[in-house]
Amino acid sequence: MSAVVDERLRRLRSELDDHSRIADRLGLDLERPLRSLDDGYPENAVALVGKLTEKLLKELWRHHGIEGDPSTKALNDLVKRCRPHIRSSTVLDALEDIRRLRNRSTHDGYDISDEDGLLAVRRLVDVLVWFTDTGSAALLGGEPDMAPDVALRCEFLAGLYVTLGYRQAKRFVLSPDTVYQLFCRESGMRLEYVELMLSRDADDLSTVLASSGGELLRTRLPKLTRFVVLEDESGGGAAPKALHQLLGQDFRIVRYDGFVDAIVNLDTHLAPLTGAVDPVEPRAAVAAATLTTDPRTGEAQVMRSGDAATLLAHLARGSANVLVTGRPGSGKSTLLRALAADAETRRFRFYFDLGLKPKGEPFPEYAARLLAPAMPSVDRSRVYDLFLYLIRSGTALCVLDAVDEGVEESSPAGFVRLFTDLAAVLSAESAVVMSSRVSFLTDSPQVRQLLDSGAGRSEQLVEQMYTNGLDPARVPHFHVVRLAEPEATPLERHLTTELQLPSGQSLADILGAHVTRTLGERGQPDLERRLPSVFGRAFLTDRKVFSLIDLVRQLGANAFMDGRLDLDACVLAPLLRPAGPDHVAFVHTAYQELLAARYLAAPENRTTAADVPGGAFLTEQVRAFLAELPNTPETDDCLLPAGAYLVGPAERLLIRRVRRPVRFDRHTVTVARYRRFLNALEADGTSRWDHPEQPAHLTHRPMTDRLRHPDYYENPRYDAHPAVCITWWSAHAFAAFEGKRLPTALEWEAAARGAGGRLFPWGDTADRTRVNCADSWVGRPVVTYQAWYRDFAGDAVRRAGVTPVGERPGNRSPFGVLDMVGNCWEWTSTSLSDPGAAVICGGSYDNPMRAVQASSKGVYRKHGGSNAVGFRCVQDIDSDSGTSGEEETAV
């Protein structure tokens, strides 16, 4: 073993000696891993460190009363279950390293080096240091002569200084109500000391000091001395005077609940909230509903609440993590800003607008950058750790506004990656309040599962969480508070009143009127037509913060009045808010989203957006605004033009190109049409139009054993019904038989949604009278799976089935294609990772309304056949002539 390793072993042995109290109490032999390293067996050292860590975590488990028996748990489970109860990020990182090394040592093929063994012991020391230096009763046991509340406060303050890089040098329990603590850290070539005397009240402190003549604090060590009085009700009374007589002036008396003020300047951090006037502040209480899950049945239930602000304040004062959802302008940001600014909620509060976080910047770096000015005495490298300690210890409230805007991409995967960053903030004691747009939550079952710590998470989501480095146990349960959706949101009401507009206008019209009026009043009405290409295009690249210099360069000098380059002089000032030194953002994201929709309304701009590297940044609100704007006029020729289209579900909207025009069948292929194909088959059920990769012995005859009506293909009463129980191979062959092909999934969705990306072929409003789906058979909305199972899977499923094509003319796309959602799923030519399966689109008669949107997709095996799966064909068009070689055959 090298001299360097020997020296490191010597130092580790010395450091382990400092933790004899924990070792004696728990029966730990801290010397054994070192002996294994001495003998040249680092793999044994790693295994022993793992065993010692297991003992520590089992004690921690019992101390916090975690449900279950820790005695049978392995290291991975112990770390997972204890994590929410550990306040220190250093300890969490150390446990993760120990777990990783232990797992490596138990697998063949991995060589454990001396360096690995030394690292394992070093990380064990890091764990022990925390609990020893904080005097934690979790591993050290309680001190019988100390009052419990005093012990808890001592542990918190010790943890505070350990997080700042100090170690505890001395600790004396002077009385049940008074404790002396001395902390030390290296700063360059010198040592820094901080001395604390913590007492329940000043009288007890004076008594203790009088008994020693005040000598306890008379030392020449360079230190800042503070006295923390837990219940100081006598700011300048007799007790403080007595302390001054004993000690002179070299000290401060600080209330316990204000001690952190010496380190964190909360006013500096919250100044943007308390100093700015919010232009969208609601004038009345906002009603809300809380989404809860029945622990017995797992069924989602909605409980109504009166005032959302009161509900949030109640939850924030406890150890509760909350997600606030609501549509744009519903007052989410106003509520969260008020919550963070209200000292009655919690003593310490932190607020982060994730809508302003650059996508490439991890949350720890973003938080540290924003908090550094409020922690001038803290090393920049420790700012985020201090923030984590305050949040995980339950001391502070963390408000994260607009988490849906903080994701790298608007998708469940992007949300999981964001939570990977945020998971360190969450603990058993944390109070984290977040906000997100309602569509991002309600349209994504994965996101709903992510926020539920119960057994409802799917294996797919759990696997995805692990793939992104996110332990599912690190995301606790979230209360979901959904703001009510009145006829007008607080933003709409406020602007309607301010602009004196008629009631009942859409959000797009209201915001547009505000933009027009603002520029008109400042003499720059012509500037409005330039805004989409500047701000709208920027939004698609996820840029929401602009420097004042940017505005001059892109809008011209006329964007500022009187030659002044400041926010007040900007002609857009009523629409903007400060976002850092000399930087601005819109007061509400909806303004920029409207400009993005206006930009996308032009076909050439959609084409440009389709080429944005990594994909354009799109939100559901951009799509909704775009769907309201005048786009390509509706046609009736079933022709899908080449161009760029907005596709995908609300949580993952994309702009994709359709390279060539195609004409769709107006209806799904019917029984009558398919019967003509059956008459042209070979004797063995195959045809000369078969796909070259079609499996052998496959027939194109319908799967009669699966048909709900055995005479479906013989009885003329079903001639106008969709051809179902048909394999993908048969659908392909039929299309070739008619000189056509199956549409791609992209073509199919573009034809269903149109240029504006509408939710349903007819628009954005759900209407069960237009579509054959579970809701139409039940006669009311089917919201949850439990409701579907209860209301539809019984009697309704026996009555339900496909209906004749064209029966619902209101189910019409902008291009005149009918029945694209509901009735039956439709095969496409698109396969994903599995070549034996293909994408199906549109939903069917047995799906609820929320699952028969124009973006609804599934994957079905190509050799499968179902009463709920049919198909339609498309024909490529000569782009020069705009005509096809053959019109669709009539039913």
CA distance 334 to 483: 12
Tens digits of per-residue pLDDT, 155-188?
A: 999 999 999 999 988 888 888 888 888 888 887 7
pLDDT score at 226: 66
pLDDT of residue 452: 58
Tell me the three-class secondary structure of 78-137, residue by residue: HHHHHHHHCCCHHHHHHHHHHHHHHHHHCCCCCCCCHHHHHHHHHHHHHHHHHHHHHCCH
- pLDDT, tens only, 203-260: 777 777 776 655 555 555 555 666 666 665 444 445 556 655 555 555 677 778 778 8
Distance CA 108, CA 397 (A): 46
Cα distances (angstroms) measured from residue 212 to each of 174, 209, 250, 629: 11, 5, 18, 81
pLDDT of 456 above 60: no
CA torsion sign for 712, 716, 718, 720 is: positive
Fold of 266-483: Rossmann fold (3.40.50)
Task: Reduce the DSSP state of residue 54 to 3 states and report it.
Answer: helix
Pairing between strand 583-586 and 857-861?
unpaired
Each residue's pLDDT tens digit, 374-423: 999 899 999 999 999 999 998 899 999 988 787 776 666 777 777 777 77
The whole-model pTM stands at 0.74
- Asked whether the predicted pLDDT for residue 296 surpasses 60, the reply is no
Any idea what DSSP says for residue 534?
I
Residue predicted with more confidence, 52 or 487: 52
Class (C level, CATH) for 639-879: alpha beta
Q: What is the number of alpha carbons within 13 Å of residue 495 lying toward its C-beta?
A: 29
Overall average pLDDT of the 65-75 stretch? 90
The ranges assigned to domains in the chain are: 3-135, 148-262, 266-483, 506-569+586-629, 639-879
Q: How does residue 734 score in pLDDT terms, banded at 50, 70 and 90?
A: very high
d(C-alpha 192, C-alpha 25), whole Å:
31
Q: Which residues contact 664 (CB under 8 A, 6 or more apart)?
A: 638, 639, 640, 743, 751, 815, 817, 872, 873, 874
**What average pLDDT does range 25-36 have in this prediction?**
90
User: What separation, in Å, do the N-terminal and C-terminal C-alpha atoms of the chain show?
Assistant: 87
Average pLDDT over residues 36-61: 92
Q: Which pLDDT does position 610 carry in this prediction?
A: 93
The CATH number corresponding to 148-262 among 3.40.50, 3.40.1350, 2.60.40, 3.30.2310 equals 3.40.1350
Residue 751 belongs to what H/E stretch? helix 745-753
Same topology between domain 3-135 and domain 266-483: no
The secondary structure element, H or E, covering residue 748 is: helix 745-753
Q: Can you tell me the distance from the alpha carbon of 643 to that of 679, in angstroms, rounded to the nearest whole number?
A: 38
pLDDT at 880 > cutoff 80? no
Structural class in CATH, domain 3-135: mainly alpha
